[in-house]
A and B are shown apart, each in its own frame.
Chain A
Amino acid sequence: MSATGIGAAVRRKEDQRFITGTGNYTSDISRPGEVRAYFVRSPHAHATIKKVDTKAAEKMPGVVAVLTGADLAGDKIGGLICGWAVSSKDGSPMKAGAHPAIAVDKVRCVGDQVALVLAETLGQARDAAEKVKVEYGVLPSVVDPAKTQASGAPQIHDVAPNNTIYDWHLGDKAATDAAFASAKHVTKLDIVNNRLVPNAMEPRAAIAEYDQGNDSLTLWNTSQNPHVARLVISAFIGMAPEHKLRVIAPDVGGGFGSKIFIYPEEVVALWACAAREAAGEMGLGPFGGLSHRCAWPRSRHACGACDRRQP
């Protein structure tokens, strides 16, 4: 065993900063003039959104803006995509329902984003979020995966009858049937996949910044693959052309796959920056005269709630 070759211990370069508290995780980043974002989330698993009244919240101290799904849709920001399309056995494409980054007329899980509050401090944003009045029409829900396809189960997405997105088959059915038919003994069992909860120690976070000089956006986020994030947020969600969008993943506090996905909060943080910029140029009320940076700090609750939306 040589001192430097095969068999020698290799010291990790990143350990020095991690053990001295000088790492640089997304929530550690602070940009001049940033405002803080807090999401109003659905307490219902399934409900129509009848009305979102933001007036009282807008008057709360420190509040910069309160944005809703209607604002997002008005700016033609696309919904989140599923990165892996699966066709049914008959060849028909999968029936993925729309997934707007802020819900528009319906919420489909507890924790679905309904509105965004931007304020000078996180405490102010949180206080103001309590003043956002959302009128829901609560619909029946189904929380047991085994019951989602039962007749009469509430349908979550209009495009997916029976709550079936795809019916996927793999392999040679005839040969498999023949093998079972000639088997001496056949055991039947139901295999239930447990729910996966990656639950990294670092909750998700995002900070977005608009650079007036270059007319470009930068997103720092807790990402395992910033390149794909940039592609998706640009080409599919339509936030900005790829050369006008930079995605930076600083130190990441664990991901276990959960930080591969593109999440609504990241999209909304970018959009909120851009929206504030646009409104500032037009001289609109609360946006004018402020710099355009939007930070959505970690929230374990939000993390858990959003994990439910993973494909």
Chain B
Amino acid sequence: MATVNITVNGKSHSVDVSPETLLVELIREKLRLTGTHVGCDTSQCGACVVHVDSAAVKSCTMLAVSADGAKVTTIEGLASGAGLHPMQAAFREHHGLQCGFCTPGMIMSAVDMVNRKGNELDERTIREELEGNICRCTGYHNIVKAVGAGARAMKGGGKTARAAE
């Protein structure tokens, strides 16, 4: 057993885990934040994307012990307050989801994309940047629209949404 001290969505936790525990297992099973999904556990689908110290990470590919001392944001902690984060609102507005299984990872990747690339994202950039996130329902078209709209909506206030980190 190892002890991991970790801040998730602004709340600090001290969690005992066996050394092989993945970050996604800690998040889902120990903290019961089940919005972060596992679609493959082999680093391909992106359903498990969270932010670790302000960078998008596939949490199925990181050991929980490697996240010791880190500040993590999951889909549950993205919005500040009761409302929706602009990227969440854009996904709903543009029908960027169907079954919703890929959606948390998509939204977390999209917010990270805006943080790195700014608020004006062209379609090509969005499609390239979403390479690590797979959706089987939508055909991506509306996801791309949602990310572009969400990015613009984040203008000025986007980074504050990550204050929880």
Q: A interface vs B, CB < 8 Å?
A: 11-12, 14-25, 27-28, 30, 121, 123, 199-203, 251-254, 256, 298-300
Contacts and interface: CB of A to CB of B under 8 A. Distances in A.
A60 to B, nearest CB: 14
Contacts of A254: 98-99, 101, 136-137
B35 A199 contact: no
Interface stretch (B74-82, B114-122, B123-131, B156-164): B74-82
A20 B84 contact: yes
A19 B101 contact: no
B134 A21 contact: no
Interface core residue of B33, B47, B98, B99 (most chain A CB under 10 Å): B99
B88 interface: yes
A252 B98 CA distance: 10
20 contacts: A11-B92, A15-B92, A17-B100, A18-B100, A19-B84, A19-B103, A20-B75, A20-B84, A21-B33, A21-B74, A24-B34, A25-B37, A25-B101, A199-B136, A201-B102, A202-B39, A252-B99, A253-B100, A253-B102, A300-B39
Given A11-B92, A16-B92, A23 B39 contact: no
A23 B102 CA distance: 12
B45 interface: yes
A23 B41 contact: no
Contacts of B32: 30
Contact of A300 (B40, B84, B102): B40
Given A200-B99, A201-B135, 17 more contacts: A15-B100, A19-B92, A21-B36, A21-B104, A22-B76, A24-B34, A123-B18, A200-B136, A201-B47, A202-B37, A251-B99, A253-B37, A253-B100, A253-B102, A254-B137, A300-B40, A300-B42
Interface in B80-117: 84, 88, 91-92, 95, 97-104, 107
Interface of B: 18, 20-21, 28-29, 32-42, 45, 47, 74-76, 79, 84, 88, 91-92, 95, 97-104, 107, 134-137
A27 B25 CA distance: 12
Contacts of A199: 136
B38 A298 contact: yes
Nearest to B42: A300
A21 B95 CA distance: 16
B79 to A, nearest CB: 7
A15 B97 contact: yes
A12 B98 CA distance: 9
B92 A203 contact: no
A20 B99 contact: no
Given A19-B88, A28-B34, A201 B39 contact: yes
Query: Can you list the 8 inter-chain pairs with the closest CB atoms, starting with the nearest?
Result: A21-B35, A18-B100, A253-B101, A21-B75, A28-B34, A201-B101, A19-B88, A254-B99
B95 to A, nearest CB: 8
